[in-house]
Amino acid sequence: MDAFNHRFDPTSLREYDIRGIVGKTLHGTDAFAIGRVFGTIVARAGGGRVAVGRDGRLSSPELETHLVAGLVASGMEVVRVGCGPTPMLYFASYDQKADGAVMLTGSHNPPDYNGFKMMIGKKPFFGKDIQELGRMAAEGDVVPEATGSSREVDVSATYIARMVQDYGGGAKTLNVVWDPGNGSGGAITERLVRELPGTHHVINAEIDGRFPNHHPDPTVLKNLAQIIAKVKETKADLGIAFDGDADRIGVVDGEGNMLFGDQLLVVLARDVLKAHPGATIIADVKASQVLFDEIAAAGGTPLMWRTGHSLIKQKMAETGCPLAGEMSGHIFFADKWYGFDDALYSAVRLLDILARSDQSLAQMRAGLPQVLNTPELRFNCEDTRKFEVVREVAARLDAEGADVSAVDGVRVNTPDGWWLLRASNTQAVLVARAEASSAEGLERLKAQLAAQIEASGLAAPDFSGENAGH
């Protein structure tokens, strides 16, 4: 056993990844330690090959160097796929028959953040796995130092060709605007559109870790201002935006209206269910009741599950589900694809659906039942208190005989609609949301939610923001 040991900043060991502020809570020594310990975990599981990718952040090349050095010191054969979207790294883990994979990305966080997303085998590495990695680093619990190897492999052409393979090519020719948001999906997007029929306009394609045009989170309306303007200017059929590492998608219809993650999932689910009648379709607990009703109406079996891309992937594997999605824009195709969240592939499947349909995306959106809902409300609550608050609320609701789903926090059904309160797995916050069929009903739901929060000694969140039509 060599004399390695390392302590991470405790704030960096998150539920789904290791993430921090570069130079403050995340350093090159952390990257080396992640490689050294993750390589040990792969080695002890009988593996020897790890795929590594990175996003376009300014800190990513240096952190990748340290990460690879740690993996090599654990005896790993490291396959470096370079700068690109996170789903390309996931794809590479299949294509290169890797035993593990590490993506160096800060996703949609501010430019000074960076982080590490991991897979062990073909499964997500999260939760207790990450805490165990921290323990092993602190205790120096690693395999004896060895000399592995590192080589660069370009999987981009194979990745693009595999995505295009699932574009069936309907009769309709589409006009599409794309916005990778200066994230790591930019170069791949430009190459992908050259392989697709139709007219394509790509904005903000240059990979720039400073994100000079807008923050790369396509689920926030203000970040879609540019793509909405371009859709209207070019009279496009739709616009497609990605987050900083292209594992989350945002969509705008031809009239410039944003589709929420659950609305997009309705469009995708209807198509998938034609090939898989009766199949389970998974969505997270924040999704509209409209989605679950529409899945059932299309002959599917809706399943409400916990928020979190790793948790969703795990549940998909358990249930054999062909499609899942989250409000945050993570879309997971196991139908024809590999079951991981891939915004680029989801975009290809969406375009395939639209090319075969006699309806526009705007018409599909307008045809959905209209409800009113609050945006996702996040308000501060200490990590030591947030789960306890949810348990207190659940106990009071149980005593009242309320209709509650406790899959992830509490989701309360009433004649007006539903409201949700859950603890974030990644931040010291509580998350709330409410949805009703009328403005009056929504006010009643918000009052019930506020009363429960205040009964646990917290100030209710500010509901004064505009309610979203949905």
Q: What is the pLDDT of residues 282-326, one digit of tens each?
A: 999 999 999 999 999 999 999 999 999 999 999 999 999 999 999
Q: What is the DSSP string of 381-422?
A: --HHHHHHHHHHHHHHHHHHT-EEE-SSSEEEEETTEEEEEE
Q: HSE of 385 in the Cβ direction (CA atoms, 13 Å)?
A: 11
Answer yes or no: do 323 and 416 share one domain: no
Domain boundary among the residues 325, 349, 366 is at 366
CA–CA separation, 268 and 277 (whole Å): 14
pLDDT computed for residue 38 by the predictor: 98
Burial class (CB in 10 A: 0-12, 13-18, 19+), 144: exposed
pLDDT < 70 positions in the chain:
1-2, 464-470
Q: Is residue 260 part of a domain?
A: yes
Q: Catalytic residue at 107?
A: yes
* Long-range contacts, 399-406 (Cβ 8 Å, 24+): 405/285, 405/304
Q: Is residue 162 part of a domain?
A: no
Answer yes or no: do 215 and 302 share one domain: yes
Answer yes or no: do 278 and 423 share one domain: no
The pair of three-digit structure tokens given for residue 191, joined into one six-digit string: 């190459």
CA–CA separation, 104 and 116 (whole Å): 5
Answer yes or no: do 404 and 263 share one domain: no
Answer yes or no: do 355 and 377 share one domain: no
Report which residue type is found at 21.
Answer: I
The domain that contains 442 carries what CATH number?
Answer: 3.30.310.50
DSSP 8-state code for residue 55: -
Answer yes or no: do 131 and 105 share one domain: yes
Taken in order 27, 28, 32, 35, the sign of the CA dihedral is positive
Domain boundary among the residues 314, 349, 366 is at 366
Answer yes or no: do 317 and 272 share one domain: yes
pLDDT computed for residue 1 by the predictor: 43
Answer yes or no: do 122 and 196 share one domain: no
Domains of the chain: total: 3
Helix (H) or strand (E) holding 199: strand 199-202
pTM of the model: 0.95
Are the CB atoms for 442 and 467 separated by under 8 Å? yes
Taken in order 341, 345, 347, 349, the sign of the CA dihedral is negative
The domain that contains 59 carries what CATH number?
Answer: 3.40.120.10
Answer yes or no: do 174 and 298 share one domain: yes
Q: Is residue 299 part of a domain?
A: yes
Question: Could you count the other beta carbons within 10 Å of the beta carbon of residue 27?
Answer: 18
User: For 201-236, what is each residue's pLDDT tens digit?
Assistant: 999 999 999 999 999 999 999 999 999 999 999 999
Domain boundary among the residues 155, 182, 201 is at 155
Q: Is residue 18 part of a domain?
A: yes
The pair of three-digit structure tokens given for residue 141, joined into one six-digit string: 């619990």
Answer yes or no: do 28 and 111 share one domain: yes
Question: Which of 107, 310, 328, 346 does the annotation list as catalytic?
Answer: 107
CA–CA separation, 317 and 200 (whole Å): 35
What is the crossing angle of helices 28-44 and 128-139, to 10°? 110
Q: Is residue 5 part of a domain?
A: no
Q: Is residue 439 part of a domain?
A: yes
CA–CA separation, 236 and 256 (whole Å): 9
Q: Is residue 1 part of a domain?
A: no
**Torsion angle of alpha carbons 150, 154, 155, 160, nearest 10°?**
160
Domain extent, residue 35, equals 10-155
Answer yes or no: do 95 and 173 share one domain: no
Q: Is residue 144 part of a domain?
A: yes
Answer yes or no: do 148 and 172 share one domain: no
